[in-house]
Copies of this chain bind each other. A is one copy, B any other.
Amino acid sequence: MKLYCFGESGNAYKAALALALTGSPWEAVYVDFFNGGTRRPDFRAINPMGEVPVLVDGDRVLTQSGVILTHIATVTGRMGGATPDEQAEVLRWLFWDNHKLSGQAGTCRFLMNFAPADKRPEGVVPFLQARLKHAYAVLDSHLSSRDWIVGPSPTIADLSCCGYLYYPEPFGFSRADWPAIDRWLGRIAALPGWKPPYDLMPGSPADRA
């Protein structure tokens, strides 16, 4: 499988983690996002939504991290939840993550670290951080009495929700503030095959410095 990705993308990291942790053979195709790589016609031909990640598996071209994660779980038979109830619960957390957690965290981190100074409208970062605090509280509370988001073992729900939380750039999230999230991130990082984002995918701020 080929994953179109770049190191800074937390949504791509979710997919890369799922490939790595299920032991799937895959290769990374670097998309030079910061030099317009997702706006180029050849990339738009692959994904008209203009977004990374894109997973190419044979003749299937999949986009949106939630779809890619679901596909990897289906083809490997791993990390998708053991029962229909668990699978529905996994899907719920994938949507919640896209809607409430990663959807906001990705924007907030981008504005704080990668956007040109004149493209950082005042007031937006504090607004997003306040919304994110609610999301962290929901996740921390959920994880306070359990090791994994759904069921007794790690699933793609964990990989989706952790997508932005290992990055070193500041965006208002500190593991020290959320002890249950902190311990859970430690458990994920202890899984065989885990690597931090900039080790798992090509491209990083250091490369561009």
Contacts and interface: CB of A to CB of B under 8 A. Distances in A.
Contacts of A49: 96, 100, 138
Nearest to A70: B91
Interface string A107-125: 1000000000000011110
Interface stretch (A58-66, A182-190, A195-203): A58-66
> How many protomers of this protein does the assembly include?
2
B48 A66 contact: no
A60 B88 CA distance: 10
A202 to B, nearest CB: 24
Contact of A127 (B85, B103, B121): B121
A175 interface: no
A145 to B, nearest CB: 11
A46 interface: no
